[in-house]
């Protein structure tokens, strides 16, 4: 009988975490692991899970947000308690062997539910939101942890003396399947661009830390040397945390004279097409925990330009599969603009980087490797519990 895993996630829309969760449960050997996924309600992720025959459980899971509002705190605590009790009951009835919290915000519910059901819990660290003091408290709810990058692990402050086993397991993708889904030329036709028109792509949620402001300033500088360059910004504010951000970016683009050079695309589901047609993928985030979109660009041979902070240097090999700014550079727009201009002017280097990127993503970041390593953590934790 396969081991039953209860995956817990606090969002039903599909962003980077949810793509990783979806591909993990689809890739796990169902003769060894049977997956259930707990979500806060219906949505695109629930629909995608149903299409691959993975059962979905609904619970009042809430995204944890920093707040001093006592009413909001009380509501969050009440909902989280109810969710933990509900999931503990599901876990006992379905004879779940292990719980997997796919976000730090899911760990309080998943950890308590697992403890009530008498099963271990794994904490998946995917961002920089937890500080060492908070991580110390949360570690009490987990039997093991997975970090998406060394940078995320270091930021959490977790050390061996905490007694919490931790593995760094980078995200992975099926690069061949992603590349096969691309329809080269379709996106350029949509934008009214020819094959030689320079095209930059930023693919990220519309939230301030993703660095869109810095990118727009960098684009204005880059257009001095490449006046025909066009930039496409794909992404939306999926969680509605920053309702005025898109309007702010539009105003900034207009003030910089970029109204004809920037296309705001909103949320897109045809990322293979976008990645394949872009000359460069630009990741201007302040500190990317990992950079899953970099893997997608690499899968189709598109070089990446980004900031050399966070986990991105663990994905993009500077000078080989793309270019990264130096971490200490204060003038981020100027540094990004310089790298963008250098690569736009050098097609042979872009092509060589794209070829190297195709090899690197398939050798170092395959979905099969990711699934196997997560499965090995499951087996180790279960074996430790006896």
Instruction: Give helix 292-299 / helix 16-27 axis angle, nearest 10°.
Output: 70
3-state secondary structure string across the chain: CCEEEEEECCCCCCCHHHHHHHHHHHHCCCCCEEEEEEECCCCHHHHHHHHCCCCEEECCCCCCCCCCCHHHHHHHHHHHHHHHHHHHHHHHHCCCCEEEECCHHHHHHHHHHHHHHCCCEEEEECCCCCCHHHHHHHHHHCCEEEECCHHHHHHHCCCHHHCCCEEECCCCECHHHHHHCCCCCHHHHHHCCCCCCCEEEEECCCCHHHCHHHHHHHHHHHHHHCCCCEEEEECCCCCCCCCCHHHHHHHHHHHCCCCCCEEEEECCCCHHHHHHHCCEEEECCCCCCCCHHHHHHHHCCCCEEECCCCCHHHCCCECCCEEECCCCCCCHHHHHHHHHHHHHCCHHHHHHHHHHHHHHHHHHCEHHHHHHHHHHHHHHHHHHHC
Q: What percent of the chain has pLDDT over 90?
A: 90
Q: Rounded mean pLDDT of the chain?
A: 95
Confidence of residue 66 (pLDDT cuts 50, 70, 90): low
Q: CA 117 → CA 61, 97, 129, distances in Å? A: 18, 9, 28
Residue, of 66 and 380, whose pLDDT is higher: 380
Say what the pTM is: 0.93
Residue 75: predicted pLDDT: 81
| Residue from 55, 123, 116 nearest 83 by CA | 116
Residue 62: predicted pLDDT: 86
Asked if residue 199 lies in contact with residue 193, where contact means CB atoms within 8 angstroms, the answer is yes
Residue 79: predicted pLDDT: 85
Residue, of 327 and 145, whose pLDDT is higher: 145
Confidence of residue 202 (pLDDT cuts 50, 70, 90): very high
Phi, psi of 130 (to 5 degrees): -95, 135
Average pLDDT over residues 333-341: 97
| In the predicted structure, residue 63 carries a pLDDT above the cut 80 | no
| In the predicted structure, residue 385 carries a pLDDT above the cut 90 | no
Residue 69: predicted pLDDT: 66
Pairing of strands 166-168, 144-147: parallel
Architecture in CATH for domain 175-364: 3-Layer(aba) Sandwich (3.40)
- Is the Cα torsion angle 50, 141, 121, 101 positive or negative in sign? positive
Residue 329: predicted pLDDT: 66
Residues of the chain with CATH 3.40.50.2000: 3-172+366-385, 175-364
Structure confidence by residue, pLDDT tens digits, 86-132? 999 999 999 999 999 999 999 999 999 999 999 999 999 999 989 99
Average pLDDT over residues 139-157: 97
Range with the poorest average pLDDT among 61-70, 210-219, 251-260, 285-294:
61-70
CATH code at 3-172+366-385: 3.40.50.2000
């Amino acid at each position: 009988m396969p081991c039953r895993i209860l995956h817990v996630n606090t969002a039903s829309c599909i962003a980077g975490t949810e793509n990783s969760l979806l591909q993990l449960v689809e890739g796990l050997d169902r003769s060894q692991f049977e997956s259930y996924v707990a979500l806060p309600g219906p949505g695109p992720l629930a629909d995608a899970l149903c299409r691959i025959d993975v059962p979905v459980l609904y619970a009042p899971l809430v995204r944890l947000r920093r707040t001093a509002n006592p009413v909001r705190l009380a509501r969050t605590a009440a909902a989280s308690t109810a969710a933990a009790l509900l999931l503990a009951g599901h876990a006992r009835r379905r004879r779940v062997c292990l719980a997997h919290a796919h976000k730090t915000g899911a760990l309080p519910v998943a950890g308590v539910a697992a403890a009530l059901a008498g099963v271990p819990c794994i904490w998946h660290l995917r961002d920089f939101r937890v500080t060492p003091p908070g991580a110390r408290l949360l570690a009490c709810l987990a039997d093991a942890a997975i970090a998406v990058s060394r940078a995320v692990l270091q930021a959490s402050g977790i050390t061996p003396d905490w007694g919490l086993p931790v593995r760094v397991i980078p995200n992975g993708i099926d690069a061949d399947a992603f590349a096969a889904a691309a329809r080269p030329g379709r996106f350029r036709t949509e934008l009214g661009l020819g094959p030689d028109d320079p095209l930059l792509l930023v693919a990220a949620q519309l939230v301030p830390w993703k660095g869109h402001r810095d990118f727009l300033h960098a684009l204005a500088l880059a257009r001095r040397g490449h006046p025909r360059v066009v930039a496409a910004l794909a992404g939306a504010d999926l969680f509605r945390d920053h309702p005025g951000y898109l309007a702010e970016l539009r105003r900034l683009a207009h003030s910089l004279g970029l109204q004809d050079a920037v296309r705001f695309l909103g949320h897109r589901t045809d990322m293979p097409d976008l990645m394949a047609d872009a000359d460069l993928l630009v990741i201007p985030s302040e500190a990317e925990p990992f950079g899953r979109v970099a893997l997608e660009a690499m899968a189709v041979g598109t070089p990446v330009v980004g900031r050399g902070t966070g986990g991105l240097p663990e994905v993009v090999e500077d000078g080989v599969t793309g270019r990264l700014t130096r971490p200490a550079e204060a003038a981020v727009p100027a540094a990004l603009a310089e790298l963008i201009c250098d690569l736009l002017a050098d097609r042979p280097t872009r092509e060589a980087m794209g070829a190297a990127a195709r090899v690197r993503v398939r050798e170092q970041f395959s979905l099969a490797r990711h699934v196997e390593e997560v499965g090995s953590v499951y087996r180790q934790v279960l074996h430790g519990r006896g």
